[in-house]
Amino acid sequence: DQQVKQNSPSLSVQEGRISILNCDYTNSMFDYFLWYKKYPAEGPTFLISISSIKDKNEDGRFTVFLNKSAKHLSLHIVPSQPGDSAVYFCAADYQGGKLIFGQGTELSVKP
Amino acid sequence: DVKVTQSSRYLVKRTGEKVFLECVQDMDHENMFWYRQDPGLGLRLIYFSYDVKMKEKGDIPEGYSVSREKKERFSLILESASTNQTSMYLCASTDYSGGIYNEQFFGPGTRLTVL
């Protein structure tokens, strides 16, 4: 039973445009959500997070939106750059410090 | 700067072998985790540890065990490797405590192939 789902395995965007990565979850008890970025042959690195008491968090080009009623979060990257090409994982915190991850979305930003 | 290191980047083993994957973190984190990453499945938690000599099963512990004899080191053991354990293995650590979430820091991963 996949509690965190990223339904788009891949996304291709032109450089300078907006990238929108989506994530759905089923458990309303999740209280913290994170996005990680992963390059090939490297471990994931933390990108941005959001508490369940907020609906938006912004950090430079990256913004995460949380819609609790829809159990949906999204990551917006504006403007997208070729260096943003990577696999993006959303994750939810449950049972205090343990994370459950989505399947990942591979973003390709074309020059 | 937090550093999580894993003993091998690539490993090839034969079916039935006992395999040890080592992870070391240098930030005095209390919590350590082992995940495996497979295409289309994301990262799945195998085992985690909140303290020395303490371990708890994650979502997919079957076929694995762990050891945490020192705070900085967390080992994943495949008792008898099988081909379905071919995967990317990722170690992570964090200083989560008291309801305040802190990010998990990941190592570079070990690509294990079981023949």
Predicted confidence (pLDDT) per residue in B51-66, tens digit:
898 899 999 999 999 9
Distance CA B57, CA B23 (A): 17
Hunting for tokens 């994982």 — which residue is that? Answer: A89
Q: What pLDDT sits at residue A41?
A: 82
Hunting for tokens 């690509």 — which residue is that? Answer: B111
- Min Cα distance B9 → chain A (Å) is 8
Give the nearest partner residue to B96 out of A9, A49, A96, using CB atoms.
A96
B2 to chain A, any CB pair closer than 8 A? The answer is no
Bridge partners (DSSP) listed for residue A62: A59, A77
Which is higher by pLDDT, A62 or B94? A62
**pLDDT grade for B32, boundaries at 50, 70 and 90:** very high
**pLDDT grade for B101, boundaries at 50, 70 and 90:** low
pLDDT in tens, chain A (111 residues): 679 999 999 999 999 999 999 999 999 889 899 999 999 888 999 999 999 999 999 999 999 999 999 999 999 999 999 999 999 999 998 766 788 999 999 999 999
B40 to chain A, any CB pair closer than 8 A? The answer is yes
**What would you report as the CA-atom Rg of chain B, rounded to the nearest whole angstrom?**
13
Tell me the mean pLDDT in the region B20-49: 94
* B90 with A44: Cβ contact below 8 A: yes
* A43 with B96: Cβ contact below 8 A: no
Spatial neighbors of B112 by CB under 8 A, at least 6 apart, are B11, B12, B13, B19, B21, B81, B85, B86, B87, B88, B89
Strands A10-14 and A19-25: unpaired
Whether the pLDDT of residue B84 is over 90: the answer is yes
Give the nearest partner residue to B109 out of A4, A36, A43, using CB atoms.
A43
SS3 B85: helix
Indicate if the alpha-carbon torsion angle A14, A75, B37, B52 is positive or negative.
positive
* B106 with A102: Cβ contact below 8 A: no
- Asked whether the bond before A79 is cis by omega within 30 degrees of 0, the reply is yes
Q: What pLDDT sits at residue B58?
A: 92
**What would you report as the CA-atom Rg of chain A, rounded to the nearest whole angstrom?**
13
Query: What Å distances lie between residue A94 and A78, B47, B93, CA to CA?
Result: 29, 15, 16
Hunting for tokens 């959500």 — which residue is that? Answer: A33
Six-digit token pair at B20? Answer: 């040890």
Bridge partners (DSSP) listed for residue B83: none
Q: What pLDDT sits at residue B98?
A: 56
The answer to whether the CB of B49 falls within 8 A of the CB of B32 is yes
B109 to chain A, any CB pair closer than 8 A? The answer is yes
Whether the pLDDT of residue B2 is over 70: the answer is no
